[in-house]
Amino acid sequence: MDETDKTEHYQARIEAALDRWLPDLDTAPRRLHEAMRYSVLGGGKRIRPLLVYATGEALGTDPEMLDAPSVAIELMHAFSLVHDDLPAMDDDDLRRGRPTVHKAFDEATAILAADAMQPLAFHVLSSDPALTAHPGAQVTLVRLLADACGSEGMTGGQAIDLASEGTRLDAAELEHMYRLKTGRLIRVSILSAAACPPQPDIEREHALERFADALGLAFQIRDDILDVEGETDVIGKQQGADEARNKATYPALFGMEHARARVAELLETALAQLEPFGAGANYLAYLARVIAERDH
């Protein structure tokens, strides 16, 4: 398989796994499950699950074990998008080219649908038959995901982001916010694969951590660049939305040229960490390049 085929293969795999774990529409409460399915199955590039499977390739992990962390991480990502879009937060009408959940349904349903995705994520990690023989790995996966999403992770990053509107952050503060808001969930995608057997030795684990840290930050700065440069119909949300809200972003604070240079530097750092993994990490390296150079 070439890399494009592989991406399609894994995207189909995660799509099927998400569909399998999400409650179907015959299960009550129907409207809540409809909203959950609408937000989770509404497209998306599935970058985090792709990173889980790609890291698993580099480590020789059975992909059967990687479905649960892939699903759990994507559910937590979907949860955060639904709440970030709420009127009290970023107040967005459009997501992935479709009405946001509170627009397509209503605000209470959007809050609750996302609220229910968190327990579903932990249900998947604690219930998938492919992992039950490895309770120690399950506990690690739960802890990694919980820590990535809490007040000192993704949710804390969103709180700092909201609080920073209209203020001027310095580079360290901005990068700290990015590491929490986006970086932690990118990071956990890579570390979750490493938490499944066969676990890598400590040196390879540290290399993967450095890879993940650099890639997570590159991802968010690239996102900022796209918000300035992209067109609404390509990026699927309102272009310039960050600027309109007077949000702290990398290009706004440091200029487009510096932002691009920082992404290139981070990509180089990330790729250097993959050397010890040899050809097994080719697809992971490919994904890193796609993430740092994507146009949507």
**What does the binding site for its own copies look like in residue numbers (CB under 8 A)?**
23, 27-29, 31-33, 36, 79, 83, 86, 88-89, 106-109, 111-113, 115-116, 118-123, 125-127, 132, 135-136, 138-140, 142-143, 145-153, 155-156, 158-160, 162-163
Give the three-state DSSP class for 14: helix
| Closest distance of CB 124 from its own copies, Å | 9
Output 110 or 281, the one with its CB closest to its own copies. 110
Comparison of 115 and 295: residue with beta carbon closer to its own copies: 115
89 vs 253, beta carbon nearer its own copies: 89
Nearer to its own copies, 185 or 291 (CB): 185
CB of 183 to its own copies, least distance (A): 15
Rank residues 71 and 160 by Cβ distance to its own copies and give the closer one: 160
Decide whether 116 or 235 has the Cβ nearer to its own copies.
116
Tokens 């909203």 correspond to what residue? 35
Do 216 and 154 meet the contact criterion of CB atoms below 8 Å apart? no
How many CB atoms are located within 10 Å of the residue 124 CB? 25
Residue 99, strand partner residues: 94
Helix (H) / strand (E) containing 60: none
- ∠ at Cα 274 (204, 197), nearest 5°? 40
**147, 124 Cβ separation under 8 angstroms:** no
At its nearest, how many Å lie between its own copies and the CB of residue 226?
Answer: 24
From the list 218, 192, 214, the residue with the least C-alpha distance to 205 is 192
Least distance from C-beta 188 to its own copies, angstroms?
11
**In whole angstroms, how close is the CB of 214 to its own copies at the nearest point?**
22
Element (H, E) at 225: helix 202-229
Instruction: Output the smallest distance, CB 292 to its own copies, in A.
Output: 28
By 3-state DSSP, what share of the chain in percent is helix, strand and coil, each rounded to 5?
A: 75, 0, 25
